[in-house]
Structure 1
Amino acid sequence: MIRDNRFLISRKPFAIDLSTVTGEQQPRGDLHAFSGTANAVWYRRKDGVTRACIGTLGLWDHYLPRPLNLEDPHDILTADLDGRYGGKCHGRWDGERYWGAQEPAVMEQHLAVLRPMLANYPEIPDGHDGWWRF
């Protein structure tokens, strides 16, 4: 992944909760395979409407030239990871409508992050590190 200093929605960046970056790796001949996840938030725009999203990122690569330090989230994130599928959205807020979880407690947790996130667009929410892109 690449960490940008400025926000450009066209680059589809993510703000990542570094405390949730996890994964495992295994040797693959002279190379290494890594598979992991991280919780993230991001903005996307559709039909002129900006939306705040919360979910998870799948992090993986099957052919890394070196083993990663699994204790260092920055070492994992700066590896040449595959992100072709983007984030898996668990909740989304466009300022009028919420889409996502149906359980009231989870919905409240999501909206507690998404409402201020959209109100402060394009700021990085507290507890997250950004902006990261694949």
Structure 2
Amino acid sequence: MHRTDRFLISQKPYAIDLNSLRTTRRDGANGHHFWDGRIDGAWFRRRQGVTVACVGTLWDFQEQQPTSGREFVERHTDGRYGGDCDGRWDGERYWGAQHPTTIEEHLALLRPMLAAYPALPDGYDGWWTFHEPKTA
């Protein structure tokens, strides 16, 4: 992924909680192993002409164990699947978790995030995108 200070919704940027990295060693064939990495993110998208705020997880399998959230996202190059959305807010309706505590946690992030569009949510770094940076 590439970091940019410029928010362009067309480039599908992510705000990343760099302190949320979780890794698990996975064993593959012939003694080979890899690292399953997960990191928390938040992002804006357009759905049927409406801007929505989303919270979820970005994941990647990496050969080397990342030592930081920044290293993990800098090595994350396959954006085909995007982030796994766990909760979404469009200003009227919430979609996502069913547990009341999780819903409250999501809305505590998503409501102010959408109200402050396109600002980064508190505690998140960004913007990160899979799009190549434009060169002049």
* TM, length-normalised to structure 1: 0.83
Distance 1:52 1:100 in 2: 12
State whether structure 2 residue 25 is matched by structure 1 residue 18.
no
Instruction: Map Cα deviations across residues 38-83 of structure 1 (whole Å, 9 max, x no partner).
Output: 011000001210000011111234xx6xx45x32221221115322
Instruction: Tell me the distance in 2 between the aligned counterparts of 1:86 and 1:45.
Output: 14
Contact kept? 2:60, 2:76, Cα under 8 Å = no
- Quote the Cα distance in structure 2 between the aligned partners of 1:78 and 1:102: 33
Give the alignment of 1:3-42 within 5 angstroms: 3-24=3-24, 33-42=34-43
Amino acid at match of 1:49: V
Distance across 2 between alignment mates of 1:80 and 1:71: 13
- Equivalent AA in structure 2 for residue 117 of structure 1: M
Q: 1:78 matched to which residue of 2?
A: 74
Read off the aligned partner of 2:87 and give its amino acid letter.
G
Q: How many residues align?
A: 128
Point out where structure 2 has 5 or more consecutive residues left out of the alignment. Answer: 131-136
Q: Which runs of 5+ in 1 are unaligned?
A: none
Runs of 4+ in 1 over 3 A off after TM superposition: none
Identical pairs, percent = 53
The structure with the largest strand share of the pair is 1
Tell me which amino acid in the other structure corresponds to 2:45. R
1:12-58 deviations in Å (ceiling 9; x for gaps): 111011111232568x9xxx844311011000001210000011111
Determine whether 1:54 maps to 2:41.
no
How well do the aligned residues superpose, as a CA RMSD in angstroms?
Answer: 2.3
CA distance in 1, matches of 2:69, 2:97: 28
**Quick one: distance in 1 between partners of 2:69 and 2:50?**
32
Between the aligned partners of 2:69 and 2:82, the Cα distance in structure 1 is 18
